[in-house]
């Protein structure tokens, strides 16, 4: 399995986010209009703002519900994903949106507090157990090992 690569978007939520549900699949979808500032590094090391562009950002499934609880207009974010073209069902026009795989507050511009208490629910607790076991060394049968020697 290779390392997944994509685009990183750093920006701010420019409009009020919406949470919708697909009529066909029931999948939750977080949508927001976002702004991205573009910068150019000058020869003297300073940065010059070269303008702002606006994009549609969407994230689906459980992440959509979490994003709706976490983000509001004006919040800064970092997202990974890809730009995808699609045909708008209402207008029939071809459009483009940034389909995020991950969406998180920007820790450079946002004060964050990390709550490390486990989330509620038996399924989550079981997942935490599995997660901790994933980093434990598996039991190995006792084997007689010969010492390594150089030059033989």
If pLDDT is split at 50, 70 and 90, which confidence band does 137 have? low
Question: Is the pLDDT confidence value at 112 over 60?
Answer: yes
Output 145 or 73, whichever has higher pLDDT.
73
Task: Provide the whole-model pTM.
Answer: 0.70
Mean pLDDT, residues 55-76 taken together: 96
Q: What is the assigned CATH class of domain 7-112? A: mainly beta
DSSP element (H, E) containing 18: strand 18-21
Mean pLDDT, residues 85-113 taken together: 93
Output 44 or 115, whichever has higher pLDDT.
44
Beta bridge partners of 103: 79
Mean pLDDT, residues 29-48 taken together: 96
Mean pLDDT estimate for the chain: 85
Q: Phi and psi of 64, rounded to 5°?
A: -65, -45
Mean pLDDT, residues 128-147 taken together: 54
Q: What Å distances lie between residue 23 and 91, 99, 106, CA to CA?
A: 18, 19, 32
Question: Is the pLDDT confidence value at 128 over 70?
Answer: no
* Parallel, antiparallel or unpaired: strands 18-21 and 7-13: unpaired
Q: Cα angle vertex 75, ends 73, 81, to 5°? A: 100
DSSP classification of residue 67: H
If pLDDT is split at 50, 70 and 90, which confidence band does 147 have? low
Output 90 or 64, whichever has higher pLDDT.
64
Least confident of 12-21, 114-123, 130-139: 130-139
Please report, for the chain, the start and end positions of each structural domain, with discontinuous segments joined by +.
Answer: 7-112
Beta bridge partners of 7: 81
Q: Coil, strand or helix: which one is 49?
A: strand
């Amino acid at each position: 399995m290779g390392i997944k690569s994509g685009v990183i978007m750093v920006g701010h939520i420019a409009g009020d986010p919406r949470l919708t549900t697909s009529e066909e699949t029931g999948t939750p979808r977080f949508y927001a209009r976002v702004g991205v500032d573009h910068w150019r590094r000058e020869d003297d090391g300073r940065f010059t703002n070269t303008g702002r562009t606006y994009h549609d950002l969407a994230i689906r499934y459980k992440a959509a519900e979490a994003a709706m609880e976490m983000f509001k207009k004006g919040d800064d974010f970092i997202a990974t994903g890809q730009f995808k073209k699609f045909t708008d069902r209402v207008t029939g026009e071809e459009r483009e949106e940034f389909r995020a795989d991950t969406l998180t507050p920007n820790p450079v511009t946002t004060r964050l507090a990390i709550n490390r208490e486990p989330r509620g629910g038996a399924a989550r607790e079981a997942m935490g157990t599995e997660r901790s076991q994933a980093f434990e060394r598996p039991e190995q049968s006792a084997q007689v090992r010969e010492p390594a020697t150089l030059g033989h």
